[in-house]
Amino acid sequence: MESIEGKVALVTGSSRGLGREMALSLAGHGANVAVNYRTRDDKAREVVREIESMGSRAISVGADVGDPEQCEALIREVADSLGGIDILVNNAGIYYSGRVEDVDSGDLDRLFATNIKSAFFVTGPAVRLMKESGWGRIINISSVIGVRGYKGDSMYATTKSALFGFTKSLARELARFNITVNAVVPGFVETDMVLQKDDEVLAKVLEKIPMRRWGTSGEVADVVTFLCEGGSYITGQLFTVDGGFSI
């Protein structure tokens, strides 16, 4: 296993939920972490304080990752403050649902900007730094909905499945630079995004999970950290963490 102690990690959308757990997990293994947020600066500062209490360095950086100019500024600030970027977790994401005949173009644009375009906008400038250092780990956070599909979720599923092609193509492109690229594919995890569904829907979903329970943010974060420390010969792969839902 490689150590990530002293490595610099940027986790987009990490002021709460899955992103927060990923940031804390990486810090728990010695990484210095940039906590990205769009609006919740108070929550991001809380995560920074938790990381600092572990003995790692941390900063919070506000940026809308759907905006390419803000992404360039985000990468510059992280590199200037923490000394580079070694680990990038493209976690930022939003959710809209709706039948295909009712699709709102504004919602669709926002989904694509945050869920897929942001991966390009953040990864591009981060990769330049990784190539300079000769080491990098990129992890894209997708969703089991992108694997299996779900009624009423065609917009969201499309953006999340697009990350699979991005992951595999980028893995081939960057392998010779000692930069690995993988995707983690969470199932139904106890986060606000999942639990906002009504009780009847949640009960039906739970019946379809062979393990008969929701996943936890920590279980997803553990896979992300493993890919940073133990994944030196793993690239272009999709790691599903869903309790068997996609079987």
List, run by run, the mean pLDDT of 10-residue segments along the chain (247 residues). 96 96 98 96 96 98 97 98 98 88 88 96 98 98 90 90 98 98 96 71 89 95 97 97 94
What are the φ and ψ backbone dihedral angles of 183, each rounded to 5 degrees?
A: -120, 140
Task: Map 36-60 to HEC letters.
Answer: EECCCHHHHHHHHHHHHHCCCCEEE
Threshold 0.85, pTM exceeds: yes
For the chain, helix, strand, coil in percent to 5 are 50, 15, 35
Catalytic annotation, residues: 156
Q: Does residue 12 contact residue 91 with C-beta atoms inside 8 Å? A: yes
Q: What is the pLDDT of residue 96?
A: 84
Per-residue pLDDT, 191: 74
Q: Which CATH architecture has domain 8-189+216-240?
A: 3-Layer(aba) Sandwich (3.40)
pLDDT (0 to 100) of residue 35:
98
User: Which tokens hold the place of 221?
Assistant: 């974060």
**Gap between the Cα atoms of 168 and 45, Å rounded:** 34
Contact 53, 29 (CB under 8 A): no
pLDDT in the model for residue 149: 83
Domain ranges of the chain: 8-189+216-240
